[in-house]
Structure 1
Amino acid sequence: MLVSPQAERNWESLCSVLEEVLEEQSHRQLFGLELGSGTGQHVIRFAQKIPFVTWQPSDIKQESRDSIKAYIAATNAKTVLQPVHLDASEPWEKWAGLHNNSCDVIIAINLLQYSSFKTAQGVFSGAGQLLKQNGLLMTYGVYAINGIITPSCNERLDAELRQLNPDWGLPDIDVLRQLAYGSGLRMERMIEMDDYYKCLVFRKL
């Protein structure tokens, strides 16, 4: 099992946001897709705290999928499906056999800053196809706003990411809003989190 100290620190606050945005639908069983599940710590915690969502974790890396499987086995999680390989930069038709209008919620935690613009486009166009009407896409990470990155620690993070991979870096909220709009989604909320991180909540119209 892989362990992310950051996931251990932030899962509770993320879970609170999820519980809040899904509360009005808590009377029924929902289906959620996590893009870039990483170690699997988040999805396992969410499953424990939000029993009315069945989760489909996914990741591009085999080691991450192995870690998620180990967490599922160790916690005996009943509402977490076995992880699938999913590359969000590919057309949604290639997303592990998921069907049009099949998801109530899609989450992407710390995915966009470690991804190419093509992946960001894929996340929003895929969400536009896979989410049911009124379904939610929630992204969490550090962002630029109107092309401006503040404070200086985020500027440093952006520079470090671009050094690791020129295609990476802090995505701009205004650009994401436009991608969302082009895919039939509207940005509904921006929630300030610890350490200058934000949750962005988009709804399918």
Structure 2
Amino acid sequence: MSYKQVISAAERNKEPILQVLKNFLSPYIQATSKEDCIYHCLEISSGTGQHVAYFAPHFPSVVWQPSDVDMSSFCSISAYIQDAQVSNIKQPIYIDVSDEYTKWGGGGVIGKHSMDFILNINLLHISPFRCTEGLFHNTGQVLKHGGLLITYGPYAFHGKISPASNVRFNSMLQSQNPEWGLRDIDQLATLAASAGIHLLEVVPLPSNNHCLIWKKE
């Protein structure tokens, strides 16, 4: 019996996001690689597990740690891991990104400056702002110097949301929960700066989404 859940949006965006990862993770790996060097990527809010299972086979030198705040998704994540038939994906752990990283996974699981990469897909706009604050604060603690945070989703840019479909989407989100909504890139950059992180590049992707590439100083 398969426990794999399927989100159609994840099926559509996993290939475009993979190309972004190849463009940024691969140069980092090539620049820092040593014999038998292993890298570590923490995925915050793994959801169904579709993404991590799709990405991991393309980066055999990266150990992937999926996580989610919703433990009911763990069966789906584990099913995708099993079907991927690779050895570089760990089993999912519980992470509430608004908690201090020292509490993640029950405590003592994620160390300071232990991650080369952190990946976060479609969380910021469908969670309270404290989760956005927690992501950047904790990334500043968990990422190695020179490491990358990659966030994906729809964003506001310099006080403006566009196109009209994103304006409607933002209104719909806020009608569901007033604490939700598209985050502005300027506000994110301010949070990032306080954590020793800067915005490296903005990559446009289909469906009016973007990957934001952040680098730890």
Q: TM-score, normalised by structure 2?
A: 0.92
Cα distance per residue 1:87-136 (max 9 Å; x no partner)? 00112221222100000000100111111110000000110000001000
Residues 1:113 and 2:125 aligned together: yes
CA contact (8 A) 1:32 1:53 kept: yes
- Establish whether residue 175 from structure 1 lines up as the match of residue 165 from structure 2: no
Give the drift of 1:75. Answer: 2.4
Contact 1:189/1:200, CA 8 A, preserved across alignment: yes
Q: Which sections of structure 1, spanning at least 5 residues, go unmatched?
A: none
Distance in 1 between residues matched to 2:159 and 2:99, nearest whole Å: 26
Which residue does 1:53 correspond to in 2? 62
Alpha-carbon separation, structure 1, partners of 2:127 and 2:44: 12
Alpha-carbon distance in structure 2 between the residues aligned to 1:74 and 1:113? 30
Whether the aligned pair in 2 keeps the contact of 1:92 and 1:125 (CA below 8 Å) is no
2:101 is aligned, of 92, 98, 114, to: 92
The equivalent position to 1:153 in structure 2, one of 165, 188, 213, is 165
Is the 2:54–2:84 Cα contact (8 Å) retained in structure 1? no
| Match among 82, 87, 95 for residue 73 of structure 1 | 82
- Equivalent residue letter for 1:93: T
Tell me which amino acid in the other structure corresponds to 1:3. Answer: V
CA deviation digits over 1:35-83, x for unaligned, max 9?
Answer: 0000100000101122121100000112211110111122223111000
Q: Distance in 1 between matches of 2:12 and 2:212?
A: 19
Percent identity over the alignment?
A: 40
Q: TM-score, normalised by structure 1?
A: 0.97
**In 1, Cα distance between the equivalents of 2:84 and 2:18?**
17
The one-character-per-residue Cα deviations of 1:129-164 (angstroms, maximum 9, x if unpaired) are 000010000000000112211111001110111111
Q: Distance in 2 between matches of 1:18 and 1:74?
A: 21
Identify the range of structure 1 (129-138 vs 26-35) with the bigger mean alpha-carbon deviation: 26-35
Opposite residue 127 of structure 2, the aligned amino acid is S
- The amino acid across from 2:55 in the alignment is F
Q: Tell me the distance in 1 between the aligned counterparts of 2:7 and 2:86.
A: 19
Name the SS for the 1:34 alignment partner. strand
Does structure 2 conserve the Cα–Cα contact (< 8 Å) formed by 1:185 and 1:202? Answer: yes
Q: Where does residue 10 of structure 2 map in the other structure?
A: 7
Alignment of structure 1 residues 37-48 onto 2, 5 Å: 37-48=46-57
RMSD: 1.0
AA matched with 2:167: E
- Of 156, 162, 178 in structure 2, the residue corresponding to residue 166 of structure 1 is 178
The one-letter code matched in structure 1 to 2:56 is A
User: Contact 1:137/1:202 (CA < 8 Å) preserved in 2?
Assistant: yes
